Structures are given as structure tokens and as C-alpha cells.
Amino acid sequence: MPYRLSATLKAHTSDVRAVNSPTNDTILSASRDSTAISWQRSSSSSSFTPETVIRASTRYVNAVAYIPPTPDAPKGYAVTGGQDAIINVFSLSSLKEDPDFSLLGHSENVCALDVTPGGTIVSGSWDRTARVWKGFNLAYELKGHELSVWAVLAVDEGQVLTGSADKTIKLWNQHKLISTFRGHQDAVRGLALIPDLGFASCSNDSEIRVWTLGGDLIYSLSGHTSFVYSLSILPSGGIVSGGEDRSVRIWKDGECAQVLVHPAISVWSVSTMPNGDIVSGCSDGVVRVFTEAEDRWASSEELKAYDDMVASQALPSQQVGDIKKSDLAGTEALNVPGKKPGDTKMIRNGDIVEVYQWDADNITWQRIGEVVDAVGKGRKQLYQGKEYDYVFDVDIQDGVPALKLPYNVTENPFAAAQRFLQNNDLPLSYIDQVVNFIETNTAGVQLGSNEEYVDPFTGATRYRSSGNSAPTTNPGLSTYVDPYTGASRYTSNSTAPSSVPSSAYMDPFTGASRYSGASSTPPTSAAPKRIPMAAWNIYRPANVPSMSHKTFEVDGRLRDEISTSSLAMYPHELASFEDTFAYLTHVTDPKSQISNLAIPTTSNVDAIVQILERWPSAALYPVIDLSRIVAAFCPGAFETPALKSRFIQALLTAGEWSSPWNSPLQKYREINLTLALKTLANMFQEGAKLNESWVNEVLSALNQLPYEVLSKAQRTCLATILFNMSCTQLKSPLDALQRQQFFELALRILQNEKADSETVYRTLFSVGNTLFTMKSSGNSPEPTQHQQLVEILPSVSQTFGNEARVQDLNAEVIGLL
């Protein structure tokens, strides 16, 4: 009998990225809605109901696995992994809100999980590693892949297979690499063990390959028309595959026996039950069960409704290739039978192009959709091992290969544009132009599911900057995009040309142009001096209503728990926070018509300090971000040096400055630290007084940071603090002790930063401004620091030799020595 729909499981609100069916009556699913669900079959029925909803993460959950029952967990464990890089283990017998075990070690998205019968967990991640966990502790790390590890398979208790975006499969015996399998032409996405034979692999190259563990290719299966994401093996030995072409395919004896078309863009995951039923998880947020047992088929009404849903789908023209409507046959072409299951045929039905697929079991053509023009929805694309909805080719100069611009429709376009410009050493002044390009070429594209970023602690959506966000003090100065909130972005008030000229360079700080050497016309004069530069970089943009929602949501959670209720806000603190949010909502929204709102004062800052001192660090994320915005828009609220000093100490406590700096930092601490550094940068605005003790406290704290532990975003923030401080000291000079601490930090950055030119560029400006101020007042650096500058600055030119803006600015700084 053919496979037909048996059950439809609806509860997830976003893509179902992984499914696992360990028994005939249990299904586990993981979703981008940040949950995993344990489904149980209703007694004497083919339907399933959610038995347990697991709040597995506060970000996308992309993988799920099952540990068989143990005395401590008679129903077994659910294992989840996702964007937060944490593997969480939940007992299905006595589910609690918090996981029974959390496995820490990966530094990026955990996208693959597998479990041995003995309970050993294998995980794969975008951090290019796989890890093996025994007894819920790390046993060993598998390093060797050049790109993301998209697939893992436990062969037995000692051997593991891993598949990667580097197109290879590797076999490991414990921590030792045994062999590498090559043959796929694109990223390897799925692996499945075939008893007594070997294993199967699937790839973005649309192929399925069957191998022996010795490395011999037995045969390949072709039929999918796009990425193949997932594999599972039937009890009979048949292979089940799912992919980006909307289909689940069933392969028997090396041939495609049946195609199950889905009313969704992506079939992310497939799993098989012991009874031979097939489970799929799709981009429409639905889990489906298919069976060849007629007594488990859905009702005739449900089957017809499903077929109608499939037939009504719109297929992007990119997915089916170039179409010349006039060359297509009419409906009479459906009188000719197909040659094999899965054959497709496009016909012209009036002005509509319809797609049909041959259903060999029912000996008929099944309508599977209508072809429409669409951009970006046909298939995911891989770039440097990671998935994107688009990878644009951008031509910037004749005769030069096009640059790749990757973009996901869920991204802030400014974040994608900034990443593209930085990765290709292009002027940041073109960011608005790149954003316009992205928005123009993705106009009207909407996802079929909610793929909004979810806050890692409150579960709410992120703060998004918008075109209406208040600009920075100096719009020509680039502001680093926060990798967690999306709140800050580069902005530019310059008028960008209609295309990026290959011969022009626009300095992102000054807006000045310089000769790049690509033009045949030489420059008529030397590049303008950049130092001194008084252009404070203030991290301003934010969605204050979302920030307010997050803060009060966290407060409510603390209040509702008996163990934490004493930490919740007092009435006067609640009132103070409400007043602060009301004012900030007004000043950050140009359309706001509200007036006569009180500007936050010292009492409002004091309330923020109280919460920073009292709340647990993992809950402080929105409050630290509020501190950033208050520092940006209400500098007068920090009226006294004593309050500033207390505020700084509260920030340092929130960033856990006194705790060991073990790499990688826990995710919440990494986020808190990034926002704390941005807040400190905002404290040094025009008019700030540097001859106060809080400045010494800031410099002392920054010098305690181990540079090698900091992320790229944090290093940029650190350099921005020095830059803003140097702009301020053009009018309010640092004293001798402060200058010494200042140079110690700047020299450490210049000596250690080998990759990020933006961090170095801002640090060079800060050093140049300080040297200029000292020279203007007849001072000079201490002999030791002078010698260090003489030694380190030339090495900066060597490290960033292809960065003309760094070379020019570095030469100007050296000239001030």
C-alpha cells in the first residue's frame, strides 16, 4: 500500500526543524518557536496530542534527540540544541521548567544531535566541531572540519560519523580521525545508519549517497530537485529523505518508490517509527505522520483536504527553472502517464502554469501547485557553511569577480550591509546604499512563519532599530551593530553615489575621500588630516517599547516566584522605570506628540542602580540596555560624581567583572558585557568631565579585561570607549595617571588585535587625539609608553597592510610622536 497522511500535529508557531520518533507512540519535535514538544499517540487512534511542551531555549531550537529510559527517567530524556549553543536535557518523566542537565562547550548554533543506545550524546555545531558527551559530561571534542558540522551519527558507542558544510564526511573512533569520505559537491546535511551495510548521506547537492564504513560508495540516489536536509531508515531497509523541494521521498532497492509532496517550502526533518510510519517536520510549523497501513490512514475528508492544500500551493519560478509559457502543452498532456514515481510535468491551463507529479500508486497525475514569480523563496543557499535566503552577486568593478552578499529575510538589513562592507574592506559610508539594494531586491518577501529573533532571557522579540531611530551625534561615524539586540547600526548622512566607484574611498569617520589607486587620474593634493577628531560615537538606536516590555516581564517573573519575589521592583521603582521609559519613548520617536514629560533625574538613575545591584545577572539584560539609552539621551541625570561612581560599579557588577574570565563566556554574560561596554562608551559625551574619580574607575576596570576573551563586538566597543574619551579630552584633558592607564589599554589593543581593522582604526584615532592634546599643551608620553608606541605602530601597518585608511591614519599618528 502507498504511504498516505495519518496524522497532522499542530502546536508549534514556527518552523519545525527536527523530529524524532523513538517509539510508535512518541514523537519529539523541535522548533524555531523556542520549544520542543513531546507528542503521545491517543489510545486506539492514529492521532497524537502534545503531552509536554518543553521550553527548551529562548532562541531557535534546531535539533532534538531521545535518550532511552533509565531508572531516573522511566520515560527517557529529550535532548535539545539550538542557537544559544547550549544542549539541554529534560526528563520526560518529571518535567521541570529548567533542564535536568545543560551541556556547555559549543560556541555557536547546535544544529545536529544523536544518541547511542547507551545514552552517549553526539552534537554538531556551526563552530566547526562535534562533541561527544558521556554521563552528561564532555568526553572529547572532534576537530577537523573546515566549516559547520551539520550532521552527526553515532555508529556505536565508540565510532561517530560527522558531515559538514566543507562537503566531507569524517569517521572518528573516539577522538581519533579514522577516515574522510569525499564525493558530495555541496554541504553534507544528513546521515543515517543502514544496518549490515554502512550509512547514507544527503547533501545540498540534491544527492543521496550510500557508503560502506570502509569508504566505498555503493550507489547514489537522484531525484530531489533541491537541498536534501534529512534522512531516516525504514525497518525494511528503505531510505526516507526530506528536502527543500517540498517533498519526502521513499527509496526502495535503489529507486524512488513514492514522493509525498508537502504544503510547505522546506521539509526540514524526517524520522521513521518502528512500525514503518514516517514523521516529517516542515517550515509551515506542522508535524505530519504518514503510514502505509490503511487502518491508520486519516479520514477521506482529511486526505482530500490535504491533497487540496498541496494542489493550491504556489511554486516560485526559480524552483522549477526557466519557463516559456507558450512552449508548454495544455491539459491534454496529462493523458500521457509518467515513467516513474515523482516525475513532474508543467502544463498551461489558460494563463496559469500548473505543476503535476506522477502518482504511480493511483496511476494519475497529482496537481502539486501553481508556478508564480518569486524571489528568494525557491531554496536556501549556503555561504561559508551557513544558510541564507539570498546570496547576491555584487559587481563593484569591471574585470573583478563579483562579491558575495549573504542575507536572511529575518535579518536587520543594516546588520547584513555592515557585515558585507567590513568583510570586503569597503567604505562604511555606503551602508545606506547597500541597505537600499537589499530592500529593493527582497521587496515584498515574507516568511511563512515567525522567524523573529527571540530574547535569550525573556522570550520576547528583539529591539529593532528603524529608520525613525534617533541618529547618533555624528551620523558619519559608524556604530557597531549589536549581534544580540540588533539595536545599533551604522548610519550615514552622506549622499552616496548611485554606484560604488572602485576608485574612491570614503572615510567613515570624516566623510573625506582619498585616492585609492584604481583610477588613472592621480590625486591633486595630499589626504586631509584627520586628527584631531571630535565626533563622539554614541550608541543611541533602540526600540524602547520592546525594552520596557522586556524589563517588566522579567520583573513579573521574579515577582511570581516565591524564591525571587524579594528581588522584584518596589512601587517607587516601578513608577520611576515607567517615567523613564515614557520619556525615552518620546525622545526616540520623531512622530511622538507627547509633551511635558519629565526628563529623568538622579532619582531615576538611582532606581536603575538599585535593580542592577539586586537582580540576578542573567535577568539584567534589558536593564543594562536601558542604562545605555539613559546615558545616551539623559547625561544630565548623572549629576554628581558620586552617583556616576556608584552607577559604574553597578555596571561592573552586572558584567561580573570580579568573576573568572573563562572562554567562552556564558551567553548571558557575553550579552551583558557588550551592553555594559556600550553604556560606558555613552558616558563619555561632549561636555563630560574627565577630572573625576569615576573615570579612573572605568579605565582601571577596562584594563582588567582579558582581551583574548572578548568578542569582535566587544573589542569594537572597547575601542569606542577610548575614542569617545579621547574626543572629550580635547577640551578636558586627562591627568597623568589617567593618560598612563589610557595608553596601557590602547597599546594592548594595538598589540593584540590582528583581525578587526575597525577596532584598530578607532584605537588609532584615540591615540592620535591624545597625542595631539598632549603636544598642544607641551606634554609627551612617558618614555616607556613612547618607546612602546614607536615599536607597536609600525607593526599595525604590517598587519593591516591592505587597509589604506589604517595606513594613512597610522602614519598621521606616528607623525605626532
Q: What is the pTM of this model?
A: 0.50
Q: 672: left (phi > 0), else alpha (psi -120 to 50), else beta?
A: alpha
Distance CA 577, CA 569 (A): 9
Radius of gyration for the alpha carbons in the chain, expressed in angstroms and rounded: 29
Instruction: Reduce the DSSP state of residue 396 to 3 states and report it.
Output: coil
Which pLDDT value is given to residue 315? Answer: 57
674: Cβ–Cβ under 8 A, 6 or more apart, which residues?
Answer: 482, 483, 484, 711, 713, 714, 717
- How do residues 727-762 score in pLDDT, each as one tens digit? 888 888 888 898 899 999 999 999 999 888 889 989
Distance CA 111, CA 97 (A): 22
Residue 518 predicted with pLDDT over 60: no
Q: Are strands 314-316 and 176-182 parallel, antiparallel or unpaired?
A: unpaired
Residue 513 predicted with pLDDT over 60: no
Q: CB neighbours (10 Å) of residue 459?
A: 15
Instruction: Reduce the DSSP state of residue 354 to 3 states and report it.
Output: strand
Distance CA 746, CA 754 (A): 14
Distance CA 48, CA 287 (A): 10
Instruction: Identify the bridge partners of residue 154 per DSSP, sorted by sequence position.
Output: 160
10 Å CB burial of residue 56 (0-12, 13-18, 19+) is buried
Name the one residue in this structure whose C-alpha cell is 521548567. Answer: 97
Which range (24-28, 305-309, 323-327, 704-708) has the least confidence?
A: 323-327
Distance CA 357, CA 341 (A): 8
Which range (331-335, 617-621, 671-675) has the least confidence?
A: 331-335
Element (H, E) at 559: helix 544-560
Mean of per-residue pLDDT scores for the chain:
81
- How do residues 621-677 score in pLDDT, each as one tens digit? 899 999 999 998 988 888 788 888 999 999 999 989 989 998 888 888 988 999 999
Q: At what angle do helices 621-633 and 641-654 cross, to 10 degrees?
A: 150
Query: Could you give phi then psi for residue 132, rounded to 5 degrees?
Result: -115, 130
Which range (25-29, 172-176, 340-344, 458-462) has the least confidence?
A: 458-462
Distance CA 407, CA 102 (A): 32
Closest listed residue to residue 355, CA positions, set 227, 261, 467, 242: 261
- How do residues 671-692 score in pLDDT, each as one tens digit? 899 999 999 999 998 888 888 8
Which pLDDT value is given to residue 287? Answer: 97
Confidence band, pLDDT 50/70/90 cuts, at residue 768: very high
Element (H, E) at 153: strand 149-154
Closest listed residue to residue 488, CA positions, set 507, 476, 472: 472
184, 564, 580 from 708: Cα distances, Å: 37, 35, 36
Which pLDDT value is given to residue 462? Answer: 34
pLDDT mean over 713-724 = 91
- How do residues 62-109 score in pLDDT, each as one tens digit? 999 999 999 989 999 999 999 889 999 999 998 778 899 999 999 999
Which pLDDT value is given to residue 146? Answer: 93
Q: CB neighbours (10 Å) of residue 400?
A: 10
Distance CA 59, CA 47 (A): 29
773: Cβ–Cβ under 8 A, 6 or more apart, which residues?
Answer: 532, 726, 729, 730, 733
Which pLDDT value is given to residue 550? Answer: 87
Confidence band, pLDDT 50/70/90 cuts, at residue 585: confident
- How do residues 159-193 score in pLDDT, each as one tens digit? 999 999 999 999 999 999 999 999 999 999 999 99
